[in-house]
Structure 1
Amino acid sequence: MKTIAIALAVFCVLLSSAAQLAMKKGLGAPSGADVASTYLHAFTSPMVWLGLVLYGASAVLWLWVLSRLDVSLAYPLVSLGFVVTMALGIAWLGEPFSWVRVGGCTLIVLGVSLLALDA
C-alpha cells in the first residue's frame, strides 16, 4: 500500500508541474499590462483553465496520499516538482538552461532520495 501511495504522490507532483506549465503557457510572455488586464487574459485563457483543473485534481488526489503516508515523507516529494517543472520549462517553454539550476535540482533529488531510504 505504501508503494501505491508513493506512486500516487509522484503522480500528484507531475500533475502539479503540468498545471504550472499550462498556466504559464496560457499567460504567454509578460506584456507590461496592468493587473486587471493580466487577470482578464488569464481567466479567458483555456490553458490557464486547464492548469487550474490539473492543479485541483492534484490537490484532491493529494488528500488520499496524506491519509496513507507520513507527512514527513510525503511533503518532501513535492520538491521533485521543482526538478520536473524546470526540465519541462526548458524543453517546452524555451526557458534558459543554467548549470546552477541543474546543481540545485541535483541537491533536491539527493535529499528526496535520502528521505526515501527511511521510508
Structure 2
Amino acid sequence: MYFLLTIICALMIATGQIFWKLGMKAIPFSFSLNTLIKFFLNGYILLGIFLYFTETFIWFWLLSREPVAKIYPLLSLSYVFVVFMARVFLKEKIAFTQEVGILFVIIGVSLIVKK
C-alpha cells in the first residue's frame, strides 16, 4: 500500500508543477499585489495548490507509518513524471541527456527500494 500511495504523491507533485506552468503562461510574473491576486484567481494555480495540499496530507500519513528512508526515494520519480507530462501536455522538447538522466533516476530508485 505504501508503494502505491507514494507513487500517487509523486504523480500529484508532478501534476501540480504542470498546472503551475500552465497558470504561469497566463500570468506575467512580477512582485506585485496585482500578480498575487491573479495567482489566486487562476484555476491552474489553484489546482496545483490543491494537489500539493492534498499530497502533503497523504505524505504525512505515510511518514507516520513507514520509514522515511524507504518511501522518500520514491518521490524522485516525480522528476520522471514531470518530464513525461511536460512532453505530452506542454509539448516541451526533451533532450537525449535528459532521457539518460531519467533512466538513471529510475535505476537509482529501483536500487534503493529493492529489498
The root-mean-square deviation of aligned C-alpha atoms, in Å, is 1.6
Q: Which runs of 4+ in 1 moved over 2 A?
A: 37-41
% of aligned pairs identical?
A: 28
Aligned residues: 114
- Alignment pair present for 1:52 and 2:42: no
Could you tell me which residue of structure 1 aligns to residue 101 of structure 2? 104
- Structure 1 residue 112: Cα displacement: 0.4
Counterpart-to-counterpart distance in 2, 1:34 and 1:112: 37
- Structure 1 residue 38: Cα displacement: 4.0
SS in 2 for 1:40: helix
| Structure 2 spans left out of the alignment, 5+ residues | none
SS in 2 for 1:79: helix
Q: Decide which of 71, 74, 77 is 2:71's aligned counterpart.
A: 74
Counterpart-to-counterpart distance in 1, 2:36 and 2:68: 34
TM-score relative to the length of structure 2: 0.90
TM-score relative to the length of structure 1: 0.87
Is the Cα–Cα contact under 8 Å of residues 18 and 85 in structure 1 kept in the other structure?
A: yes
Could you tell me which residue of structure 2 aligns to residue 40 of structure 1? 37
